[in-house]
Amino acid sequence: MAPVTNPRIVFKERPQEGLPIAGKHIVLDSSHTIDLENVPLNGGYLTKSLVLSPEPAMRERMRDPSITSYTTTYITGAPIVAFAVVVVVRSEKEEVKVGQYMYGQTPWEAYTVQPYIEGRVKFEPDQWAPGTFDMDSLVLQPVPDPKGAYPLSTYTNILGTPGMTAFVGMEGVLQGKKDETLFVSSGASGVGSLVIQLAKMKGMKVIASAGSDAKVKFMLSLGADNAFNYKKESYGEALKKYGPIHAFWDNVGAEALDAALEFCLPQARFAICGASGTDSIPYDDRYRLKNASQIQKKRLKIQGFVVPDYIPQFAAQFFQEVPALVAQGKLKSKENTVGEKWDDVPQSIADMLKSGHDIVGKPVVTVGSV
């Protein structure tokens, strides 16, 4: 068989501030080819990308390498490494079989020899902050449902990183209790939508926010008791009306966090999962908190977290409980296909990172089929 084109998504240039621009910072490179039958596997295996999952954490990996954070950075000129579902095309690894579906962090290119080597970060722990995760070193995992009970896109959402994030945050950080009131910002996102559902299963009252009327309708369909469009009703107005709150799940930061500080009860618990309201905004233009003094006055517990911190403790419980609840229809998953070809991928990343975007459900790009 003659070599075939192997398109890849390359991190071409590092955004200095603000959002990445498709075609400038993130580009499609179709100049590479691959011989699927003869490319050396070196004891590994060859995968084909099927479903790509644009996620907010990708913006953090685009930062300047001199800025310490919880994850290593992308390398300019190399393929973007992010979450995807793949299928095994060839294998020299005994435990990995041809036709097997796998998911996790992988280069965004049509075909990849695993484990991925080219363009990887040379991870030297001493040059990163303690607790930094080398995302490029994570190994793909087999999809745990080989019989295909769920669409593959489900593994980018409720059965993937967003689902695991919501689960470990609820169990390990918030530890929600019956009859408490929880506020969830960005409640229509992949993470936020599952937080709403998990909270309701615990008997909590849920207030949720998002940036469109369609998302408000979606959050109510998931069981949120009160949902509001922050573009029409401010966070403060809504929490004054529906609160006070015992707990806050924050995907946004900025005004959402400030309002939660004002309208929370003493000894409230905050799980800080993201800061989409500030991450892509130039530093001088960022919102400044007005209610930070409430942290001490109300004796608040505010904890930031990332999923790898909690995987050893909660991964087994997640895989035991969540797939069964999805199968029983007790947990809902909504994916939104925002592209169906490699040309769509750079813009899908840029659109996903825009605060207040109109995508309802977890955005995915389906780039391949079996």
| pLDDT for the residue numbered 255 | 93
User: Pairing mode, if any, of strands 181-184 and 205-210?
Assistant: parallel
Cα(158)–Cα(311) distance, integer angstroms = 15
| pLDDT for the residue numbered 66 | 85
pLDDT range class, residue 23, cuts 50, 70, 90? very high
Mean pLDDT value of segment 108-133: 73
pLDDT range class, residue 277, cuts 50, 70, 90? low
Mean pLDDT value of segment 273-293: 78
> Tell me, what amino acid is at 240?
K
**Cα angle 166-106-39, degrees, rounded to a multiple of 5:** 160
pLDDT cut 90: percent of the chain above it = 68
| pLDDT for the residue numbered 370 | 73
State the helix-helix crossing angle for 213-221 and 190-201, rounded to 10 degrees: 30
Q: Which DSSP helix (H) or strand (E) runs through 160?
A: none
Better-predicted residue by pLDDT, 60 or 17 = 60
Mean pLDDT value of segment 285-295: 88
What domains appear along the chain, each with residue ranges and CATH number? 4-157+334-366 (3.90.180.10), 161-307 (3.40.50.720)
Mean pLDDT value of segment 327-336: 90
Cα(224)–Cα(208) distance, integer angstroms = 7
Of the listed ranges 103-117, 144-158, 166-180, the least confidently predicted one is 144-158
pLDDT at residue 281 greater than cutoff 70 = no
| pLDDT for the residue numbered 355 | 65
CA distances, 8 to each of 139, 171, 186, 343 (Å): 19, 37, 30, 10
Tell me which range, 96-105, 218-227, 267-276, is most confidently predicted by mean pLDDT: 218-227
pLDDT at residue 101 greater than cutoff 60 = yes
pLDDT at residue 124 greater than cutoff 70 = no
Count of beta carbons in the 10 Å neighbourhood of residue 269: 21
Of 123, 242, 136, 114, whose CA–CA distance to 184 is shortest?
242
Question: CB burial class (10 A; 0-12, 13-18, 19+) of residue 236?
Answer: middle
User: What are the start-end ranges of the H helices in the chain?
Assistant: 57-60, 161-168, 190-201, 213-221, 235-242, 254-263, 294-297, 311-327, 345-353
| pLDDT for the residue numbered 149 | 74
Of 24, 31, 34, 29, whose CA–CA distance to 10 is shortest?
29
Task: Report whether 188 contacts 210 (CB < 8 A).
Answer: yes
pLDDT range class, residue 136, cuts 50, 70, 90? low
| pLDDT for the residue numbered 119 | 58
Mean pLDDT, all residues of the chain: 90
Mean pLDDT value of segment 153-178: 93
Cα(233)–Cα(58) distance, integer angstroms = 29
Please spell the DSSP secondary structure of 85-118, one letter per residue.
EEEEEEE-STT--TT-EEEEEEESBSEEEESP-T
Better-predicted residue by pLDDT, 192 or 281 = 192
